[in-house]
Amino acid sequence: MTLLYIFCFTACMVSISAAPQITVSAEVGSTIVLPCEWRDLPIKTPHVTWYISLYLVFERQGKKSRQGEGYEGRVDVPEDELRNGNCSLVLKNVSLTDDGLYKSFMMEYVERTNSERIKEIYRVTLSVSLQISAAVGSTVVLPCEWRDLSIKTPHVKWYNGSEIVFERQGKETHQGKAYEGRVDVPEDELLKGNCSLVLKNFSVTDAAVYTSSMLMNDTENLILVQRVKLSVNDKPETQSDKKSDSS
């Protein structure tokens, strides 16, 4: 029964291609709303489901609701909003692992065949990052934590898009061309699980989205650890700042 449902669910996803698709950005720890609108209001008790890949995120039909594994206590489609055609998913305490493509579906009862039809409503790509700003010329630390301390010699890589920024495995390091002499992940810190990147002499051209990944020695797979959006702090200096500097 489960396999049959998954097959039907997958087939329905493929057959419906007109669902609106948008991208939403969120910061780690924030609350985000993944938009969804259901216009066919004659349904007395709307039955909505949200999925990421084939994994359930949230389901509601009337007062009955179900939260997917890993989303317990963090997701909801409020019942009163759903009755008004708003099937948007509220996601609290966003984490990096929430990053991905979310799809919402409405279950429609077909009286003629006495069965339910799955209709895809929305596709939302959620891009999660930690947001940090820095002043030009300053030293900034891009946070990163690796909890699997069983790896004797961690192999970390930092990227700006597809461009390598910094790489360390034990004492061996490599710095990207545009970052030479300015970046480091200290070896002693990395052995403790701290894979944070130290970036010196921050410039306007350094503003970008950075990702850190850990290379697994046994599988040679890169595991995403952190995504950081680094921007320029162009906040003008206030009078109070000037007074504190002169005192």
> Residue 163 has what pLDDT?
97
Claim to verify: residue 108 and residue 22 sit in the same structural domain: yes
Q: Running along the chain, 247 residues long, what does each successive block of 10 average in pLDDT?
A: 36 51 93 92 83 96 96 97 95 93 87 75 94 96 87 93 96 97 97 96 97 85 91 68 47
* Three-state secondary-structure class, residue 16: coil
Looking at residue 220, its pLDDT comes to 77
Q: Please check whether residue 244 lies inside any domain of the structure.
A: no
List the CATH number of the domain containing 30: 2.60.40.10
* Res 2: pLDDT: 35
What pLDDT, on the 0 to 100 scale, is given for residue 111?
64
Spatial distance between the Cα atoms of 131 and 183, rounded to a whole number of angstroms:
19
* Residues 115 and 8 placed together within one structural domain of the fold: yes
> Which residues are 100's β-sheet partners?
126
Residues 141 and 215 in one domain: yes
3-class secondary structure per residue, 33-82: EECCECCCCCCCCCEEEEEECCEEEEEEECCEEEECCCCCCCEECCHHHH
Owning domain of residue 85:
2-128
Tell me which of 84, 111, 128 is where a domain ends.
128
Does this model's pTM top 0.75? My answer is no
Q: Is 110 found in the same domain as 161?
A: no
Instruction: Please identify, among 112, 128, 144, the residue that sits at the C-terminal boundary of a domain.
Output: 128
In a domain, residue 242? The reply is no
Contact 205, 194 (CB under 8 A): no
pLDDT value of position 43: 72
* Confidence (pLDDT) at 3: 30
Domain count, the chain: 2
Q: Using CA atoms, how far apart are residues 141 and 146, in angstroms rounded to an integer?
A: 15
pLDDT of residue 110: 64
Same domain, 105 and 143: no
pLDDT at residue 74, rounded to an integer: 98
Q: Where does the chain have alpha helices with state H?
A: 2-15, 79-83, 187-191, 239-246
Any domain includes 198: yes
Q: What is the pLDDT of residue 65?
A: 97
- The answer to whether residue 239 is domain-embedded is no
| Cross-strand bridge partners of residue 223 | 214
